[in-house]
Structure 1
Amino acid sequence: MTAYEPDWCATPADVIKAGEEIKTKRIKKSVDRTLRWLDDCLAASPAPVIAPVVGFNNVEERVRSASETAKREQVAGFVLNAFELEGDVRTECIRTSIEQLPANKPRLAYGYSTPESILDGITQGIDLFDGSYAYKMTERGRAITFKFGDSMSPPKDEEKPEKSLNLWDTRLAQSFDAIDSSCGCYTCTTPHTKAYIHHLLNAHEMLGPLLIMMHNVYQLEHFMGAVRNSIDNKTFDADKEAFMAKHNHGKEGSGSEGHQDEIDFESLGSPVKKNRVL
C-alpha cells in the first residue's frame, strides 16, 4: 500500500461461501476474524480504509459486524459483500447491516452489478457499485442499449425490449448503422457499424470485444449519471418504476454459443484455426 499509494483500500474479509449448512459458530468466527484483520490493517495502512461488513445470513452477527466496524472512527467507508446471498435473504441482510452504519460514510456493495440490482441497492441505501456488468455483457458479445430517466424513451409496444443488443445475431450482418446513434462513445461516433462488429466477432478478432467494451463502459457510466440526476431531481422512484416496466429483465444469454473456435490440436507448434464457412 505504501508503494502503490492508492486513494483507498479494502481490508480482507473472512467471507463464507454459500452452498452448505453453515453453523452459527462458524459465522461468529468469521466476524471475529474480519474485525481482527481490520484492526491490524488500520494500524498499518497509509491509505484510507474501507472496511468489510460480514455475518453471512445471521441477522445478529450482521448487526454485530456492522456496529463494531462502525465504532472504528478511522474507517472511511464500508464494503457489503452480496455474492454469497440471493433473493429476499440478501435484501434483508444488506438492510440489517446498513441500519447499523453511519449515513455520512459511503457504502460499497459487491454483487450488485446488473442495472436492476443497482437500482434496488440504491433504494436500500448503497452508494457505490462494481462495474462488472459492462465486462460480462462484452464477454457475451452484447452491447448495452438501455437508458434511464429523461433519456429513456417510452415503450412503443407491449413487447418489452432486452437491455442489450446481441451482436452475434446473424440478422445484423447487413445492418450498417451504429449500435446507438445517440451514444457519444468512440465505437458509435467513428462509427463502427453493427455489421462490422458482427463480422469481427465471427472472425474472432480482438477488435470486436474492444469496441463493445468501450461502448458498454461509456453506457454504464451514463446510466449512473442519469441515476444521480434522477435522485437530485427527486424523481428516482418514478424513473425506477418506468425502467422496470419498460424492459425485459430475463437473463441475457451469451451470443457466442455455437461460435466457438475450431482448433486443430494435431497441428505442430501453436494451434491453428480452421477455416470457417459462415
Structure 2
Amino acid sequence: MYSTIAFTLESGKQHGYRRGILQLKRPDGTVLEVKTPGFVTATSRGVVSHLTQRLCEQTEAVRWIHATFESLYVATRPFPASWRSYSQACDPDIVFALTDTPFTPPPFSQKRSVKSVERSLAWLSDLLRSDTSEYTHPTNVFVQMAGGVEHDARAAFADGLTSRLYDKEADMVRPLQTLDEGVAGYSFDLAPLRATLSGDRLTGRLYDKIPAHLVPEVLHPWDLTQYTGDLADLVRTSLSALPEQKPRLVNSCTGPHEILQLIQSAGVDLFDAAWAQRAADIGIALDFQFPVPQQYRDHVAASGDDDAAGENDGARQAGIPIGYNLYNFQYAHDFRPLTDHPFPSAARSPVAPSTVILHSSIDSGEVGESPSPFSRAYIHHLLHTHEMSAHALLLTHNLSVLDAFFNGVRELLGSPGVCDQVIGDEIAIFSRVYDASSSLFNVSAKCWAEVELARGKGRLAREKAKELLS
C-alpha cells in the first residue's frame, strides 16, 4: 500500500491561469490537501530550517515539505541505478525521477543535449520498472522536464514521455503503455536554466546558503524577472504535448513577480518557497500583498507608465520593496509589528504557554493574555546578537506572507465573472508597485555576512588570524 494523488482542476487552461486542489491520501487514512496555485516548503534533510517541530506545527503556512535524499553522516551520493531501491525503501508520498542536468559551463553541444534527454528517459523508465514483487511501480512520480534551454530538446523529451512503448521497453514498465502514464506531475528547476541563459553560474547565487566569507564585497543589483519570459517559453514548450490534468511544480523562482508571470503565461500550479526561506536567513521580513492594497495603487497613478519601471545599474526599480532589511539600524527603535496585515504567524500572533513554571510561592499560576506581536526592534536586536530565534520568527512570518499572497491569487482566479484582462491588469499593477530588483537581497546578504563573520562560528579563529597579520 502506498499514497495516492488526485489533482482536480477547478478552472484553467493549458498555458494560462489554473486553479485546483492537489490531494494526497495515505494508507492510514490521512488526507493532505494543497490548494493551487500554492507552494511547497523546502527542507534541509527533512527539517524546515530554524523551526522546531512544535513551531512548524503552529505555522499554518507549512502544509507540504520537500525533502532531499541525503545523509548527515554518509557522504556517498546515490547512483541512478540505485534510485529505485532507495525510493522503495523510503516509501515517500512523492518521488522525483532523476534527470541528467549538465552542470558544466554553457554552451552545451547537441550531443550533450541528446545524451541528457536519453539518460533522463532511461532513468524514468527504470524507476517505473515493474517486477513480480508486491511493489509494482510507484504511482506518485514527478519528472523533471529535461532539455535545457533548447526548445527542440525539451520538445523531444516531452515526446519521449507520450510516445507508445514497444518490445523490451514496453515489457519493462508493463502495464504502462507510455512513460507519461506512470507520471503524476511535472517539475521544472529554473536555476540551471537561468544560469545558462545568463552565462553566469553565480546568477541568483544569493538564494543559496553560501558561507559568509564568499559573499562578494560589491553586489550589483539585477532585475529578478530579466529571464522570466524566456523561462516561461521553455516551460510552455515542455508542456505543449502533455496532458493538462497533471500538476506542475517549479523550483528556484526569484520572487513573487516571477511567480505571477509563470502563473499567467505557463499555468504553473506549485512553487517552492526557497527564496522566501533564504530571505529569512539573511534578515529580510517580507511585506507584500496580492492584489495590491488600494493605498499602494496611488503610487502607480502618480508615477505614470514611464517612471514606474526605471533603470538603475541594470535593475528595474518599481518603487516599494517586497520587504525590509531588519539588520538596518533604522529599526533599532522601531516597535511596530513586522506587518499590519492580519494573518497568523509566530511573530505576528505569539501563542501563550498553556502552563506556567512557578519559581516561588508568591508567583501567580494564572496564564495571562496572549503576548503582543514581536516588534521590528526586537528582531533587529536578535539578529545583531546572532540569536537563532530571529531567523525562526522571520521564517514563520515570511511563509505566512507567502501563504497570504497565494490566497489572494486563488481568490482572484475564483472570483465570479473574472476575465483574463482583469487578472492581467492586477499582475501588471503588482509588477509596477513592488520593486523587482535584487537590491534588497544584496544589501541584506552583506549585512548578514558582516554579523556572521563577527559573531558566528569560527569567530575566534578569524580574530586570531587577524592578530597574526597585524
TM-score, structure 2 as length reference: 0.54
For 1:151 and 1:9, the matched residues in 2 are separated by 39
Q: Using a 3 Å threshold, how does the CA distance of structure 1 residues 228 and 94 change in structure 2: closer, same or farther?
A: same
Structure-2 residue corresponding to 1:6: 92
- Indicate conservation of the 8 Å contact 2:139/2:183, yes or no: no
For 1:240 and 1:267, the matched residues in 2 are separated by 49
Does residue 236 (structure 1) correspond to residue 409 (structure 2)? The answer is no
Percent of pairs with identical residues = 27
Choose 93-102 or 32-41, whichever is displaced more: 93-102
- Indicate conservation of the 8 Å contact 2:139/2:182, yes or no: no
* Bigger relative contact order, structure 1 or 2 (CA pairs below 8 A, ≥6 apart): 2
Structure-2 residue corresponding to 1:33: 119
For 2:151 and 2:260, the matched residues in 1 are separated by 23
Residue 259 of structure 1, CA deviation: 2.6
Q: Using a 3 Å threshold, how does the CA distance of structure 1 residues 265 and 95 change in structure 2: closer, same or farther?
A: same
Give 1:98's match in structure 2, choosing from 232, 239, 242.
239
- Name stretches of at least 5 consecutive residues in structure 1 with no aligned partner: 269-278
Q: Provide, for residues 74-96 of structure 1, a one-character-per-residue CA deviation record: whole Å limited to 9, x for no partner.
A: 21111122222232542322221
Structure-2 residue corresponding to 1:187: 347
- For this pair of structures, how many residues does the alignment match? 268
Higher Cα Rg, which structure: 2
SS in 2 for 1:108: strand
Structure 1 segments (4+ residues) deviating >6 Å: none
- Indicate conservation of the 8 Å contact 1:230/1:239, yes or no: no
1:74-89 correspondence runs (5 A): 74-86=182-194, 87=227, 88-89=229-230
Superposed CA RMSD: 2.2
Structure-2 residue corresponding to 1:53: 145
Residue identity opposite 2:436 in structure 1: H
For 1:229 and 1:249, the matched residues in 2 are separated by 23
SS in 1 for 2:348: helix
For 1:18 and 1:228, the matched residues in 2 are separated by 39
Q: Using a 3 Å threshold, how does the CA distance of structure 1 residues 231 and 266 change in structure 2: closer, same or farther?
A: closer
Does residue 247 (structure 1) correspond to residue 434 (structure 2)? The answer is yes
For 1:40 and 1:185, the matched residues in 2 are separated by 43
For 1:161 and 1:264, the matched residues in 2 are separated by 40
Residue 17 of structure 1, CA deviation: 2.6
Give 1:116's match in structure 2, choosing from 227, 234, 257.
257
Residue 156 of structure 1, CA deviation: 4.9
SS in 2 for 1:109: strand
Structure-1 residue corresponding to 2:161: 69
Residue 122 of structure 1, CA deviation: 0.8
Q: Provide, for residues 34-58 of structure 1, a one-character-per-residue CA deviation record: whole Å limited to 9, x for no partner.
A: 0000011012543511112111122
- Indicate conservation of the 8 Å contact 2:93/2:140, yes or no: yes
Q: Using a 3 Å threshold, how does the CA distance of structure 1 residues 82 and 180 change in structure 2: closer, same or farther?
A: same
- Name stretches of at least 5 consecutive residues in structure 2 with no aligned partner: 1-86, 131-136, 163-177, 195-226, 304-317, 351-372, 465-470
TM-score, structure 1 as length reference: 0.88
For 1:222 and 1:164, the matched residues in 2 are separated by 14
- Indicate conservation of the 8 Å contact 2:297/2:429, yes or no: no
Residue 225 of structure 1, CA deviation: 1.5
For 2:152 and 2:462, the matched residues in 1 are separated by 59
Residue 150 of structure 1, CA deviation: 6.4
